[in-house]
Structure 1
Amino acid sequence: MNTDLDTTIRYLTGDQVDELSRGLPIVDLVRDTLLAFRRGTAGLTPEAALRWTTPMGDSARSLILPGWSGTGYGCKIINSSLGNHERGITRAAGLIVLADPETAHPSCVMEGARISALRTAGVSLAAVQAARRLTSVTSVAFLGCGRQARAHLQLLMAECPGLERVLLYDRDPAAREELAAECREAAPAVDVRGVEQARQAVAGAGLVIAATTTTESYVELDWLHEGGTFVNVSLDDASEGLLTGCDHLFVDDWELVSGDDHRLLGRLAGSGRVTGPGSTPPAGSRAVDAELPALVAGEYTRPIEARDRVVINPFGMGVHDIALADVIHARAVAGGVGTRLPR
């Protein structure tokens, strides 16, 4: 019997995860994971979802997303309640649990919300880079000014040297102005404006990031100007007209998207209004043009013209969380960071 095996679990707090993630090439890591998924050297299994109504009447859920990338194995647990904003706390919180690839014992538990926000932003930018090129982005609008918007802005500032204008919309004026002040401080040369209407934000930018908590779609096709790109991060902002009428529609994983009837695109899949990549849709319907692994790999051959409207609908693949968490765990081990917990 080998008595030298580590029998502790390393725990990393949110602040430690934040520090360990600094300087990581998030977009490159996400792109590499999408390519690994395409090759079959990374993968995921069906997620599990527990949904309930809180005692205060709010919609709540707990998602468990298992995945693996290279020698990293684990699962993401992400929970949220739509009433958290009224309580003055973040909508979502979670954990990532990594397993030792040899023994399968839990090896690390870390706060997961920071990683979730980073990888989500990384997926958005990797997809935009594959469809439009980040160097072409001069204006961006945000619908929602919370944690996801901040993570996206952080990467956009680093990856888009031509960025000139940022438009911010949020139903909460205070959240909008707070993010605007942070953005102006971080990038004084960028024109940052808060706007009163969602349509005003969408119409004023070439790239739109929807990161809200809505469960009702509202962004119509004619809101997005020709040549615009809409990233449907929060999944329910884009209307049926925008999803079915755009020139190019991309998803990260069709099986995940089509299997979730809580989201509009999943319901459209269930009704036959939208079909999977490579399919021939019935009259009056449309097919998804490609999944992101194929798009990033350069396998999407239909030209994306300058005046085309593009919609990117990233459902969320747990494999990205595991890949990023695995890199952060390796940094923690090398630096002796974290609390060692007995099993």
Structure 2
Amino acid sequence: MQNSSTLLRYLDGATVASLCARIDPLEVVTEAFLGVRAGRSGVAAEAALRWTAPDGTEARSLILPARHEGAYGCKIINACLGNVNRDLPRAAGLILLYDRETAAPVCVMEGAHISALRTAAVSVAALRAVRPLSTVDRVAVLGCGRQARTHLDLLAEHGAVKSVIAHDLSPSRATAFAEELRAALPEIEVETVDGPEAAVRSAPVVLATTTTTTSYVPLAWLPEGSVFLNVSLDDAAEDVLLGAEHLFVDDWHLVSEDDTRLLGRLARSGRATAPGTTVPGARQVDADLATLLSGAYNRPITATDRTVINPFGMGVHDVALATRVHAAASAADTGVLLPR
């Protein structure tokens, strides 16, 4: 019989989803942000491998190492844009957790569910810091995939959203998304529109969860007092990032080091700069999300101010959520134990 210290616990997607249902993800991501602010948590440099799949679509693999309150691990998340045409999920991945003393892997779990959940939790936690969720009655959705649905489910769980206006480049996908949403959340009114402008102009909160690499939403579309959740990072045009009254990022270093995204390119060209850093002619990011969630952001956000939340994605949130899932799985003796 093998010693338990030599075994690796594997958690499949269904098990991960079941265990996540017992956890408040907003509490976890907020705790992780505060841990980063206090130096108890953090991320290491990310690695990215990109290629072109045989069908000509873009594919990539990202590795995000992180530590959180004495826990260590990484997320490996892969995606291929061609998967949509194969009736496959766009993204799939794994999360690994390591023993603090020996550094040996102790758990490997399906990662796409946690990745989607923590992404939504960061958005909702940030939105909650900007305005009471009970006042968020209408949301515009750009991109009708898994991320959009996870965000809306989480918003609904926290008492937000009475109506949704959705747009997707694929009308059939938008229609299917609306039908599924009506069935799952019948208390929410759902409509679809052919273009993004009508959606953005009609809602105080915009959720961008597309796969675009070309910006298309100008500042003129954003209503006064609106919040733009720039989850897919490239939907908001340059004038949105430079001209909105408030601009928040999760981690400036990660944002500024990535020249594949617009805000990173603006940083590289000297047109955007870090919070607390004044450069003539550059837009200063107002604060990171750790500052916002800690209550240390001192500038008032008025009823007419437009706010952009630009979450690049930090592996610390995946590790924090995965650590909670692993603890619950160990306590319940759930999962498959594999020899290392």
Q: Percent identity?
A: 55
Aligned to 2:27: 28
Give the whole-Å Cα distance in 2 for the aligned partners of 1:44 and 1:127: 19
Give the whole-Å Cα distance in 2 for the aligned partners of 1:42 and 1:340: 28
SS at match of 1:6: helix
> Which AA in structure 1 matches 2:236?
A
Aligned length: 339
Aligned to 1:186: 184
Q: What's the C-alpha RMSD, in Å, of the aligned pairs?
A: 1.2
Give the whole-Å Cα distance in 2 for the aligned partners of 1:82 and 1:331: 34
Distance 1:225 1:272, change over 3 A: same
> Which AA in structure 2 matches 1:305?
T
Alignment of 1:92-111 (within 5 A): 92-111=91-110
Aligned to 1:207: 205
Aligned to 1:341: 338
SS at match of 2:97: strand
Give the whole-Å Cα distance in 1 for the aligned partners of 2:283 and 2:263: 12
Aligned to 1:157: 156
* CA offset digits 1:84-112 (Å, max 9, x no partner): 11222111111000001122110000010
Aligned to 2:85: 86
Give the whole-Å Cα distance in 2 for the aligned partners of 1:190 and 1:216: 31
> Which AA in structure 1 matches 2:56?
G
Give the whole-Å Cα distance in 2 for the aligned partners of 1:188 and 1:12: 32
* CA offset digits 1:25-65 (Å, max 9, x no partner): 11111111111111111111111111112222222111100
**What is the CA distance between 1:4 and its match in structure 2?**
4.8
Match status 1:293 vs 2:290: yes
**What is the CA distance between 1:182 and its match in structure 2?**
2.2
Aligned to 1:16: 15
Alignment of 1:115-134 (within 5 A): 115-134=114-133
Give the whole-Å Cα distance in 2 for the aligned partners of 1:237 and 1:212: 8
**What is the CA distance between 1:137 and its match in structure 2?**
0.7
SS at match of 1:280: coil
Give the whole-Å Cα distance in 2 for the aligned partners of 1:305 and 1:274: 23
SS at match of 1:279: coil
Aligned to 2:277: 279
Give the whole-Å Cα distance in 2 for the aligned partners of 1:102 and 1:4: 16
Distance 1:112 1:82, change over 3 A: same
Larger mean CA deviation between 176-185 and 110-119 belongs to 176-185
SS at match of 2:258: coil
TM score, norm. by length of structure 1? 0.96
> Which AA in structure 2 matches 1:107?
V
Aligned to 1:323: 320
TM score, norm. by length of structure 2? 0.97
Aligned to 1:232: 230
> Which AA in structure 2 matches 1:279?
T
SS at match of 1:242: helix
Larger mean CA deviation between 39-48 and 3-12 belongs to 3-12
Aligned to 1:6: 5
> Which AA in structure 1 matches 2:309?
I
> Which AA in structure 1 matches 2:223?
H
Structure 2 unaligned runs (5+)? none
Give the whole-Å Cα distance in 1 for the aligned partners of 2:98 and 2:250: 25
Alignment of 1:30-45 (within 5 A): 30-45=29-44
> Which AA in structure 2 matches 1:129?
R
* CA offset digits 1:241-275 (Å, max 9, x no partner): 11111000000000000000000000000001111
**What is the CA distance between 1:221 and its match in structure 2?**
0.3
Larger mean CA deviation between 54-63 and 95-104 belongs to 54-63
Structure 1 unaligned runs (5+)? none
Aligned to 2:221: 223
Give the whole-Å Cα distance in 2 for the aligned partners of 1:272 and 1:85: 37
SS at match of 2:275: coil
* CA offset digits 1:137-178 (Å, max 9, x no partner): 1111111111101110110101134x2211111111222122
SS at match of 2:139: strand
Give the whole-Å Cα distance in 1 for the aligned partners of 2:53 and 2:319: 29
SS at match of 2:59: strand
> Which AA in structure 2 matches 1:23?
R
